[in-house]
Amino acid sequence: MIQNLNLLQTPEYQQKLNQCIHCGLCLQACPTYLVFGTEMDAPRGRIALMRAVSDGRVGLGDFQQSISPHINLCLACRSCETACPSGVRYGELVETARLLVESNRKPGWAERTLRKLGLDGLMPYPGRLKFMARLLKIYQVVGLQALVRRLNILPGPLKTMEGILPPIQPQYTPEAPPLNSNEPTRRILFFTGCIQEAFLAPVNRATERVLHRNGFRVVAPSEQTCCGAAHLHLGDLESARSLARQNIDAFLAECRDGEMIVTNAGGCGLSLKEYHHLLSDDPEYAERARQFASRVRDVSEILATDIIESPRGQVTARVTYADSCHLRHGQKVVRQPRDLLRSIPGVEYVDLAFPDQCCGSAGVYNIAQNETAEVILQAKLEDIRASGAQILVTTNTGCHMQLMSGVRRAGLPIKVMHLVELLDLAYANEN
pLDDT tens profile 71-111: 999 999 999 999 999 999 999 999 999 999 999 988 888 88
pLDDT for the residue 173? 62
Read off the pLDDT of residues 347-360 as tens digits, 9 standing for 90 and up: 999 999 999 999 99
What would the mean pLDDT of 101-128 be, rounded to a whole number? 89
What would the mean pLDDT of 149-166 be, rounded to a whole number? 92
Reported for 15-19, long-range contacts at CB under 8 A and 24+ positions apart, including other chains, are: 16/88, 16/89, 16/92, 16/93, 17/47, 17/50, 17/51, 17/54, 17/93, 19/86, 19/87, 19/88, 19/89
Confidence of residue 170 (pLDDT cuts 50, 70, 90): confident
pLDDT for the residue 53? 95
147: in domain: yes
318: in domain: yes
pLDDT for the residue 155? 87
Residues 152 and 46 in one domain: no
Residues 255 and 205 in one domain: yes
Residues 210 and 277 in one domain: yes
Find, among 118, 204, 98, the residue nearest to 160 by Cα: 118
Residues 292 and 254 in one domain: yes
Average pLDDT, the chain: 93
**Model pTM score:** 0.94
CA distance 192 to 407: 25
pLDDT for the residue 183? 61
168: in domain: no
Residue 179: pLDDT over 50: no
Of 263, 280, 304, which marks where a domain is finished?
Answer: 304
The enclosing domain of 391 has a CATH number of: 3.40.50
Of 66, 86, 102, which marks where a domain is finished?
Answer: 102
SS3 state at 93: helix
Alpha helices in 234-298 (DSSP H): 237-252, 266-273, 275-278, 286-295
Phi, psi dihedrals of residue 364, rounded to the nearest 5°: -110, 15
Residues 375 and 265 in one domain: no
What would the mean pLDDT of 175-188 be, rounded to a whole number? 62
| Beta carbons of 139 and 43 less than 8 angstroms apart | no
Residue 178: pLDDT over 60: no
Kindly list the distances between the CA atom of residue 25 and the CA atoms of 30, 120, 132, 267, 310, in Å, as whole numbers in the listed order. 10, 39, 44, 24, 40
Number of domains observed in the structure of the chain: 4
Among 109-113, 127-131, 248-252, the least confident range:
109-113
Residue 135: pLDDT over 60: yes
Among 38-47, 144-153, 229-238, 385-394, the least confident range:
229-238
CA distance 13 to 6: 10
The enclosing domain of 227 has a CATH number of: 1.20.1050
Full residue range of the structural domain in which residue 132 is found: 109-163
pLDDT for the residue 9? 93
Residue 381: pLDDT over 90: yes
169: in domain: no
178: in domain: no
Residues 27 and 94 in one domain: yes
Say how many C-beta atoms besides its own lie within 10 A of residue 48's C-beta. Answer: 16
pLDDT for the residue 176? 45
What would the mean pLDDT of 218-226 be, rounded to a whole number? 96
Say how many C-beta atoms besides its own lie within 10 A of residue 252's C-beta. Answer: 16
Residue 206: pLDDT over 60: yes
Read off the pLDDT of residues 280-319 as tens digits, 9 standing for 90 and up: 999 999 999 999 999 999 999 999 998 888 899 999 999 9
pLDDT for the residue 174? 58
Say how many C-beta atoms besides its own lie within 10 A of residue 125's C-beta. Answer: 15
